[in-house]
Amino acid sequence: TSDSRGALLPAANGEPAQGERSGVLPAELLRPHIPALLENIAQLLAISSEDSALITLEALHQVIKAASAEALLRMPLVVSRVLAALLSCGGDVMIASEAVETVECVVMRPECVDLVADQCVPVVLAILEHPDKYACTQVESVIELLSKIIRKSASTNKVPSILIEGCFPTLMMAMLQSDVDDILQPGCAVLRAYLREAPGELATL
């Protein structure tokens, strides 16, 4: 799908997006190669320098847009590599933002919500349990990511239990112990998402 970076990948449904260039590869030609592209770009991301991580993330993001849920479910490595980039970005705003958007692109498929939740919880806990060890950009980004996953899980009619039992208590503790806006403001957005999507589950904690 075309975006501000002028990507040349079609949407997952094969429909050309408005404004796409005439040079877009036909979906039927690209689709057989998506698993290999996902794997190779994810591996490249693991060894990317800080200077090349952003463009590698952008390339991976575009392939994910064209990938099916089935292809993504077979490759949990993709999400873990993106999260590793977020953990190691050192507060680079553009890398952190692209990492969040890339994971959000995966979780937009209802079939992938549980996969993303399982992959994200260790990263969320690592940062929220020791926010002082990470740049404010990383803390804010991981809380924003948690909010997006909870909201997207509405499409499955159930917030994964690991997000409630694993992340909610840690988020609450981080907010109670902080007076930093980078935690409190996005944290409040997450609390609203929890209350909207899982009020019954919260009541049982």
- Return d(Cα 186, Cα 116) in angstroms, integer: 19
pTM score above 0.75: yes
- Return d(Cα 154, Cα 58) in angstroms, integer: 27
* pLDDT tens sequence for the chain (205 residues): 444 444 445 455 444 444 444 455 666 777 788 999 999 999 999 999 988 999 999 999 999 999 999 999 999 999 999 999 999 998 899 999 999 999 999 999 999 999 999 999 999 999 999 999 999 999 999 999 999 999 998 888 889 999 999 999 999 999 999 888 888 999 999 999 999 999 988 888 7
